[in-house]
Structure 1
Amino acid sequence: MNALFLPNHDDNPYQLLLADALESHGVSVSRGSASGLAPVLSGVARNDPDVLHFHWLHQFVIGRTRTRSYVAAVRFAFEVLISKLLGISIVWTVHNVLQHERHFPRFERRVRALFARQCDEIIVHSPAARDRVMSTYDLPDEHEERITVVSHGNYVGSYENEVSRAEAREHFGFGDDEMVYLFFGNVRSYKNVPKLVETFRTIDDEDARLVIAGNPPNDRKESAKLARGCRADDRVRTDFTYIPDDEIQLYMNAADAVVLPFTRVLTSGSVILAMSFGKPVIAPRLGCLPDVLGPKTELLYDPDDPSGLRTAMKRAPTLDLDEIGRQTRERAMSFDWDVVGERTAAVYRSATDDRPVETRLPGSDAYDATVRDSAEAVTDGGTDDASDGETVDVTAGPSANGRNTREERR
């Protein structure tokens, strides 16, 4: 069986590890891009896949303007229809229910909801994500059987991890008794880093340290404001830059806990990365996080509690963080890539075995409904506003810092 990943990110270990795991279960994986006039069909022509496996959908349907987005969505719908006519099955791993930046959220949600109905199978990384996909895209009950939970594989061994805690702390000049909180990844609005800095500055502990490592916000004003807030407290260390893969171990091993105060999240590769290094995770009780962390949720907080983050950060030093970290790493080890590959290959087989050919042909109810709904999604996109009041969880995405760590480079 041949599968084509769309779009491909060579610097993302998630796809690389998934491809390796699939190869061991009889699936040959090729990779395509989201660029070009007809990226999907170009990939089909070059690779002759049995399965198109989509990952980050927004790159195909969201442009810089609303008009470009409409055109991109029409093209994408056409390419998917042609692919289905050619007998190719469609599988989608939903890493995030909307693009992180949410440029045209209402329109994007309509397009994604339409696409979900055309998929032969959908993969999510947790039961909570399955429920969110069903509700966000308003899928009929019968579609739930097409959604399969496949865990996000771990990153144990994907990054160098040879530096000891003492060596890592010596590198940064941290003392053995200092409490070090780490935020690691691209600084993006949904990750709520300004709130983290503001909260940390209210913690009256001269031995507390906060490290923020990752590319700064793209917006210059936002970036400058965040930098000023960090400079106001000499306990805060910032490395607003790309962190090479071999240096990730320094940050992780110097930290007592990783803090990820998302405002919204579906799936988080950053959490998997922290767990793979055996780090306790302080984060809101949102999306996949309770499912992923399993029983070790002592440091999850209520996102609706204004003091939730501060309470969790204050609580962390009172717990046995070494033991929590050990159990967290054990939990990460259970997300075995061989099992992920086996289950994903089973999803592919289900997609290729179960879909009758007649549903792909012009004149069939499914085909005609697809054409009709595609037109409606484009012509009735509505007026989009990035702050239109939607309360949709989004994340990486199996994604920790854009170009920063291979893991959230999405």
Structure 2
Amino acid sequence: MGKPTVYMWPKWSPHNKYSELLTRSIEQNGLQVEHYDREAMFKPRRGDIVHLHWPSNSYTSSVFALTIAKSLFFALLLLYFRCRGARLFWTVHNVWPHTGKTRWDRLMRKYILTVCHEAFVLSETVKGEVAATFGVPASKLVVTPHGHYVDAYASKGTDIRKRFGISPESFLFLFIGRINPYKGVDQLVEAFSSLKLESCDLLIAGHVDSGYSLDFIDRVNDGTIRIYPQFVDDHELADFLEAANVIVLPYKQISTSGSAILALSHKKPVVAPRLGALGEYVSDGCGVLYDPDDPDGLRKALQASMNMDVKETEMHIAAKLRELDWGRIAGKMIQVYTGTKRYEVNA
């Protein structure tokens, strides 16, 4: 039998380069990858791979009756693949959807884990959480780290500091990403403003969720907090990151953070709570982790990050990025896909 075809669900996404970068590495390791969509719905054959990433959109709707219908169709479709001899895998990017957890999510996600041959998780921490939450054996969960974003986003050369009136000499903290109650921007603003540091600024950039107000910033802003409440386009993402000294991700809940890996990919240290997989990605020397239960933890972490040695930090980050090499990750996935070790890792 020839090599299997991998049906990546999805092969690319306008909001996340993970699938695209993974696909490229799997193809470089010798397997053909196709985008899974409606046109490819019944193409997977015996021995082929169907690899899911973010399945909640496939079983949920804003109307509960449609959620039931979509869930039933989705469940039967996965069974159809199994009966046809395809192998099913799911990368559990988040234990729960970003929209929150429901009993229906618990039911469907447990079902997906049951029907899949194996599932990939992005850290040991998430592996333990998934096994405990959904009652699946840990042996069914394979840890494959989230790969890096080195060279994934090209710089446009925009001077972000000049755009926002930030001095080249100022120490700049940056929060970048979607802004909602779970991201902890309110705690970041409170911690930063309480420090009252000279020659220090904070830039908050990202799309603000509907109904979430940033009025709390106006009450404490002395001019050192800049706000860019818009989605940061891919062509300027690198420029925002390059402008910063430290990336701050004060999340209140998280499984795995692509934003942390994105920061490290641009050689920027990360300040973040010791939650989910952050402790495994932001390892010693790559940033400052704080206890999320310590009311003064974020404030102390911001201060500590300003004293990090730049060259030493970059050495630690470079070592971490070698661990997050896509070639190694794809090679391990192919071994799991096929149940063999026939494929060499091009790393």
Question: Please, what TM-score do these two structures have when normalized by structure 2?
Answer: 0.89
Distance in 2 (CA, whole Å) between partners of 1:188 and 1:29 is 35
Q: Offset at 1:161?
A: 4.3
Q: Offset at 1:169?
A: 3.5
Cα distance change, pair 58–248 in 1 and its aligned pair in 2 (3 A): same
Match of 2:106 in 1: 109
Q: What are the Cα deviations for residues 31-76 of structure 1, in whole angstroms up to 9, with x where unaligned? A: 124xxxxx5xx53324657111000011112221333322222111
Deviates more, 1:336-345 or 1:58-67: 58-67
Match of 2:282 in 1: 293
Does structure 2 conserve the Cα–Cα contact (< 8 Å) formed by 1:262 and 1:284? yes
> Could you tell me which amino acid in structure 1 is paired with residue 148 of structure 2?
N
Match of 2:87 in 1: 89
Q: Does the residue aligned with 1:68 lie in a helix, a strand or coil?
A: helix
Among candidates 260, 273, 279, match of residue 262 of structure 2: 273
Among candidates 158, 173, 187, match of residue 152 of structure 2: 158
Does structure 2 conserve the Cα–Cα contact (< 8 Å) formed by 1:163 and 1:253? no
Q: What are the Cα deviations for residues 4-32 of structure 1, in whole angstroms up to 9, with x where unaligned? A: 11244432321111111111222111112
Q: What are the Cα deviations for residues 234-256 of structure 1, in whole angstroms up to 9, with x where unaligned? A: 21111111222221222111111
Q: Does the residue aligned with 1:238 lie in a helix, a strand or coil?
A: strand
Q: Which runs of 4+ in 1 moved over 4 A?
A: 46-49, 161-164
- For residues 377-392 of structure 1, the aligned pairs below 5 Å read none
Match of 2:5 in 1: 2
Q: Offset at 1:198?
A: 2.4
Does structure 2 conserve the Cα–Cα contact (< 8 Å) formed by 1:230 and 1:237? no
Matched, 1:148 2:146: no
> Could you tell me which amino acid in structure 2 is paired with residue 22 of structure 1?
I
Match of 1:238 in 2: 227
Matched, 1:134 2:138: no
Does structure 2 conserve the Cα–Cα contact (< 8 Å) formed by 1:100 and 1:190? no
Does structure 2 conserve the Cα–Cα contact (< 8 Å) formed by 1:261 and 1:284? yes
Match of 1:54 in 2: 52
> Could you tell me which amino acid in structure 2 is paired with residue 145 of structure 1?
S
Q: Does the residue aligned with 1:261 lie in a helix, a strand or coil?
A: coil
Matched, 1:215 2:207: yes
Distance in 1 (CA, whole Å) between partners of 2:310 and 2:268 is 8
Matched, 1:32 2:36: yes
Q: Does the residue aligned with 1:45 lie in a helix, a strand or coil?
A: coil
Q: Offset at 1:270?
A: 0.6
Q: What are the Cα deviations for residues 320-361 of structure 1, in whole angstroms up to 9, with x where unaligned? A: 24532442244124311111111111111129x9xxxxxxxx
Cα distance change, pair 47–88 in 1 and its aligned pair in 2 (3 A): closer
Match of 1:68 in 2: 66
Q: What are the Cα deviations for residues 338-390 of structure 1, in whole angstroms up to 9, with x where unaligned? A: 11111111111129x9xxxxxxxxxxxxxxxxxxxxxxxxxxxxxxxxxxxxx
User: Structure 1: which 5+ residue stretches go unaligned?
Assistant: 34-38, 354-410
Distance in 2 (CA, whole Å) between partners of 1:329 and 1:159 is 18
Distance in 1 (CA, whole Å) between partners of 2:66 and 2:310 is 49
Match of 1:176 in 2: 168
Match of 1:229 in 2: 217
Q: Does the residue aligned with 1:122 lie in a helix, a strand or coil?
A: strand
Q: What is the RMSD computed on CA atoms of the aligned residues?
A: 2.3
Matched, 1:122 2:119: yes
Distance in 1 (CA, whole Å) between partners of 2:160 and 2:207 is 21
Match of 1:305 in 2: 294
Does structure 2 conserve the Cα–Cα contact (< 8 Å) formed by 1:214 and 1:239? yes
Does structure 1 conserve the Cα–Cα contact (< 8 Å) formed by 2:11 and 2:20? no
Q: Offset at 1:272?
A: 0.6
Higher relative contact order (CA 8 A, sep 6+): 1
> Could you tell me which amino acid in structure 2 is paired with residue 31 of structure 1?
H
Does structure 1 conserve the Cα–Cα contact (< 8 Å) formed by 2:9 and 2:36? yes
Q: Does the residue aligned with 2:119 lie in a helix, a strand or coil?
A: strand
Distance in 1 (CA, whole Å) between partners of 2:178 and 2:311 is 26
Q: Offset at 1:297?
A: 5.8
User: Structure 2: which 5+ residue stretches go unaligned?
Assistant: 343-347
Distance in 1 (CA, whole Å) between partners of 2:315 and 2:225 is 26
Cα distance change, pair 278–94 in 1 and its aligned pair in 2 (3 A): same
Does structure 2 conserve the Cα–Cα contact (< 8 Å) formed by 1:90 and 1:121? yes
Q: Offset at 1:318?
A: 2.5
Distance in 2 (CA, whole Å) between partners of 1:79 and 1:187 is 35
How many residue pairs get aligned? The number is 335
Distance in 2 (CA, whole Å) between partners of 1:329 and 1:212 is 26
Distance in 2 (CA, whole Å) between partners of 1:162 and 1:65 is 42
Q: Does the residue aligned with 2:42 lie in a helix, a strand or coil?
A: helix
Distance in 2 (CA, whole Å) between partners of 1:89 and 1:57 is 16
Q: Offset at 1:204?
A: 1.2
Match of 1:396 in 2: none
Distance in 2 (CA, whole Å) between partners of 1:182 and 1:146 is 38
Deviates more, 1:295-304 or 1:317-326: 317-326
